[in-house]
Amino acid sequence: MAFWYNVSSGQVEEDGGTEPKGDLMGPYDSREQAEGALAAAKNKTEQWDAEDRAWNEGED
């Protein structure tokens, strides 16, 4: 079973009971992963931004 985080409602949804896919993040293997979707996305974005800054400054 897959889990999804609905960014519009802020709720975790299971396969089969999901809203339109445009509002969902996932799929995730567990409810806990789906619940942490926004935090994980924020962390990844911050990491990628730091990598971009380092690359732009020639620091690979």
Count the domains in the chain. 1
Can you give the pLDDT of all 60 residues of the chain as single tens digits?
Answer: 899 999 999 999 998 777 666 789 999 999 999 999 999 999 999 999 999 999 999 865
The amino acid that residue 39 corresponds to is A
Question: Do the Cβ atoms of 26 and 3 come closer than 8 Å?
Answer: yes
What pLDDT is recorded for position 60?
55
Please give the residue range of the domain that contains residue 43.
3-56
User: With b meaning 16 or more CB within 10 Å and e meaning fewer, what string describes 17-27?
Assistant: ebeeeeebbbe
- Cα–Cα dist 33/19, whole Å: 18
What pLDDT is recorded for position 15?
86
Phi, psi of 33 (to 5 degrees): -65, -40
pTM for this model (two decimals) = 0.75
The amino acid that residue 9 corresponds to is S
What pLDDT is recorded for position 59?
66
